[in-house]
Amino acid sequence: MTTIIQNLCKLSQNIFSTFIRTNGGSNSKSMAVLDEQNILILKKLFAQLTLNDINFDLNELSPTISPSPTPSLSLAPITYTSIFQNEYFSLTIFGFRKPTSRIPLHDHPGMHGFIKCIYGSISIKSYTILDNVPVPNEILNKIPELSNPLCLVPSIYVGEDIISINDNYNQIGTLTPMDRNIHEIRPVTNQAIMADIISPPYTKLTNSYFYYYLDTIYDQHLDKNITWLLRTLDSRDYYCDTLNYRGPNIILV
Ligand SMILES: [Fe+2]
């Protein structure tokens, strides 16, 4: 009997192993275009995914080790489970243990992404990167310690999406190389769990890496529609622990 997780990975493999990336250079904004019909089928299937399909134990979201010694030992604010990954895509679970847990602003160079909430509700704040906007001196002057102006990335704040556990494909968050490529994700409920499909995945094999982004910088005299994001490799207080995947086997040939 095939399982939803098997079907989801098989469909992702079919889609992401065949679509063509038109740029081959250092430009991280791949112009790859995915077939809309295939993406709709993927989103509808992804929307059906539940905790039961991956055998995720909600006790794993407990913020402390239980039964705890004294004093109680806190666990990481976020737990991470890799369900499947190859050179074409990754399927990953993030469990938010606390209302203050968050995945800080980060980018997805040249990637497509799909996000499904499978427990509680999550907030996704997204930014779209702008090209060819020189950094105004008014912005540079705000951060005199900045050694490289290239670390300032112009963007448009797209907005905040709240997505909840729901089997409607409209509740699947999306990003592309050109749109909503930077985001921050946090739980809206006390705890929450999300799954994401990313293509190509963050791996050495695909030469994919990513940056975090710090404070947003404005100048009231400038174009308020542009948000300047400060790029960094430092993740500040973000850390996860990892859980092994305990769901059904996934076999792709
Ligand atoms: Fe992300």
pLDDT of residue 26: 44
Other CB atoms within 10 Å distance of the CB of residue 55:
11
Q: Quick one: what percent of the chain has pLDDT higher than 90?
A: 55
Distance 246 CA to ligand 1 centre (A): 23
Distance 70 CA to ligand 1 centre (A): 36
Distance 250 CA to ligand 1 centre (A): 23
Q: With respect to CATH, is domain 4-242 assigned 3.30.200.20? A: no
pLDDT of residue 30: 53
99-114 pLDDT tens trace = 999 999 999 988 999 9
Token pair 């992404």: residue: 113
pLDDT of residue 202: 81
Mean pLDDT of the 69-73 span? 60
Distance 113 CA to ligand 1 centre (A): 8
- The full 3-state SS of the chain, as one line of letters, equals CCCHHHHHHHHHHHHHCCCCCCCCCCCCCCCCCCCHHHHHHHHHHHCCCCHHHHCCCHHHHCCECCCCCCCCCECCCEEEEEEEECCCCEEEEEEECCCCCCEEEEECCCCEEEEEEEECEEEEEEEEECCCCCCCHHHHCCCCCCCCHHHEEEEEEEEEEEEECCCCHHHCEEECCCCCCEEEEEECCCCEEEEEEEECCCCCCCCCCCCEEEEEECCCCCCCCEEEEEEECCCCCCCEEECCCCCCCCCCC
Distance CA 59, CA 198 (A): 27
Distance 141 CA to ligand 1 centre (A): 30
Cα dihedral 202, 204, 208, 210 sign: positive
Distance 20 CA to ligand 1 centre (A): 22
pLDDT of residue 182: 94
156-209 pLDDT tens trace = 999 999 999 988 999 999 999 999 999 999 999 999 999 999 998 887 544 445
Of the pLDDT bands very low, low, confident and very high (cuts 50, 70, 90), residue 211 is confident
Span of 12-26, 47-61, 131-145, 176-190 with lowest mean pLDDT: 12-26
Distance 1 CA to ligand 1 centre (A): 32
pLDDT of residue 28: 45
pLDDT of residue 146: 67
Distance 40 CA to ligand 1 centre (A): 20
Distance 106 CA to ligand 1 centre (A): 6
Nearest residue to 94 (alpha-carbon basis) of 242, 253, 249: 242
Distance 112 CA to ligand 1 centre (A): 10
Of the pLDDT bands very low, low, confident and very high (cuts 50, 70, 90), residue 25 is very low
pLDDT of residue 218: 66
Distance 186 CA to ligand 1 centre (A): 11
Distance 174 CA to ligand 1 centre (A): 10
Mean pLDDT of the 8-22 span? 85
Distance 108 CA to ligand 1 centre (A): 7
Mean pLDDT of the 208-234 span? 73
Span of 41-50, 65-74, 142-151, 228-237 with lowest mean pLDDT: 65-74
Of the pLDDT bands very low, low, confident and very high (cuts 50, 70, 90), residue 45 is very high
Q: Quick one: what percent of the chain has pLDDT higher than 70?
A: 81
pLDDT of residue 132: 84
- Domain boundaries, given as residue ranges, for the chain: 4-242
- Residue 136: pLDDT above 80? yes
Mean pLDDT of the chain: 85
